[in-house]
Structure 1
Amino acid sequence: MYLTLFFDGQCPLCRREIEALKARDALHRIRFEDLNHPDIAERFPELDLTLANRVLHGQRSDGTWLTGLDVTHAAWTLVGRGHWTAPLRWRPVKPVADLAYRFFARHRHRLSYLLTGEQRCEVCNHDR
C-alpha cells in the first residue's frame, strides 16, 4: 500500500513533519505533494484544493481518500512508526485529537511561527 500525501509547503511545522517522514521513508511508500506547487491542480484535478488547504489530505494507492489525523497515522505507519500516532486513533482519544487537529490546521501558520520562529514561506522550493 502506498500513499500520496498532500501538504502545505508554506507551513514551517508541516514542512518539518514532511522532512521527518521523508527521512524514514526508505521504501519510498509515500509520494509527497505540496499543495502550493504551480501545477498541483492540473496533476490532481480530483483534489479539492480549498478543502485540502484546510485539512490534510492523502490518497491510498487503491484510490481511498483519507483526511486529517487519519493521513498522519497512515503515513507514520508506512514508515514503521505507526505506534507513535496510534493512540490518536483510539476510540476514546480520537474525537479530542481530531478537534485539536482541526484547531491546529486552522491556525497552523500562526502556531508554526510561535513554536519555531519561522514565518510562512511565500516562495518555497517545490521539489517533488
Structure 2
Amino acid sequence: MIIFYDGNCPLCVKEMDSLKRADTHNKIILEDINKDDFEQRFKNIKRHDAMAFLHGQRDNGEMIYGLDVTFEAWQTVGRHSWLKLLQLPIVRFIADLGYRLFAKYRRQITRIFCQSSCGIK
C-alpha cells in the first residue's frame, strides 16, 4: 500500500511516523506529495487533489481516499482495531464529514492544537 500524504503538515507527519513505526513488515510506502518530482512519478495523482483529500493506492493499483486510507493502513499493520467502527454507516457519514473539514483546515488546526507537541510556531 502507498499513502500519499502532506509532508508539510506536522500532524500528518506525526501520524505517518506512528504508522511507519507500527509497520514492522514494511507493507506501507509513504510518499510526500510535496516532493518536486511527485507529479512526474505519480502521473495519475494531481498534487492539488491529494492536498484536498488523503490518497492511497492498494497493491493492486486501486486508489482509495480519505478515511478509507487511514482505516486500511492501520488494519494493514494490525493496530487500532477500533477504527472498524468507521465502517458503520452513520459513523462513517459523520466521520467523513469531520475528515473533510480536517483536511480542508488541517494547517489551521495544526497551528491551534499542535504548537508545542509538534514543534511548530
Q: Please, which runs of 5 or more residues in structure 2 have no aligned partner?
A: none
From 74, 77, 80, the counterpart of 2:72: 74
* Alignment match, 1:46: 44
Q: Does the CA-based 8 Å contact 1:109-1:119 persist in structure 2?
A: no
Identity %: 39
Q: Alpha-carbon deviation of 1:113?
A: 1.2
**TM-score, with length taken from structure 2:** 0.93
Runs of 4+ in 1 over 3 A off after TM superposition: none
CA RMSD of aligned residues (A): 1.3
Correspondent of 1:109 among 85, 90, 107: 107
Q: Distance in 2 between matches of 1:42 and 1:119?
A: 30
Distance 1:37 1:75, change over 3 A: same
Q: Which has the higher contact order (CA 8 A, sep 6+)?
A: 1
More helix by share: 2
In structure 2, distance between residues paired with 1:110 and 1:33 = 23
Question: How many residue pairs were aligned?
Answer: 118
